Copies of this chain bind each other. A is one copy, B any other.
Amino acid sequence: MSDFIHERHKPISALEEPRELIVACCPLRSNVNLSRIVRAASCCRVSKIVTTGNAKIDPKIARDGAEHLPFSNHRSLAPVLKQLKADGYRLVGLEQTTNSQDLHQYQFVRKTVLVIGNERQGISDEILALLDDVVEIPVYGMPYSYNAATATCMALYEFCRQFPQG
């Protein structure tokens, strides 16, 4: 008999304290990408998602994340990020830039805002200028870039790996 029997409704992993991780998205081209991010962020128990532009969350993709993940939509991201910085959050962009750090080695702090760029333009220069750190994920082959939602999910995974209990 197999050692491995399906257990698809295991109890979730409890957090000892609430996550103080916020995901903040520049205006994205694709609400599919946004909705994928919402599902994963809700699974990771991110405390909040900040969206901009014509953000619409598709509950068929985001599933229960659409209801359970607090979100706020804003016309512009810069004032929100400035306020979060004043509240003690570290602003960390996910992007390929000069001085960006390898996500494999990067040590997050608990109070982090993970800033996600547009699929084509990335994080705007105005927002880049506000960031404390930029992290990037090593790429080894074609097409030389991860989808924006895929990269976000990898960064969420890394954050949870560093703070498995919150």
Contact = CB atoms under 8 A, between A and B. Distances in A.
Contact of A137 (B99, B136, B157): B157
A61 B36 CA distance: 14
A12 B140 contact: yes
A44 B138 CA distance: 8
A153 interface: yes
Contacts of A128: 2, 4-6
A contacts with B: majority SS: loop
Contacts of A68: 141-142
Interface in A117-166: 122, 125, 128-129, 131, 134, 136-147, 149-150, 153-154, 157-158, 160-161, 164
Contact of A6 (B43, B95, B149): B95
Contacts of A36: 147, 150
Contact of A131 (B4, B44, B64, B65): B4
Interface in A29-77: 36, 39-40, 42-45, 61, 63-65, 67-69
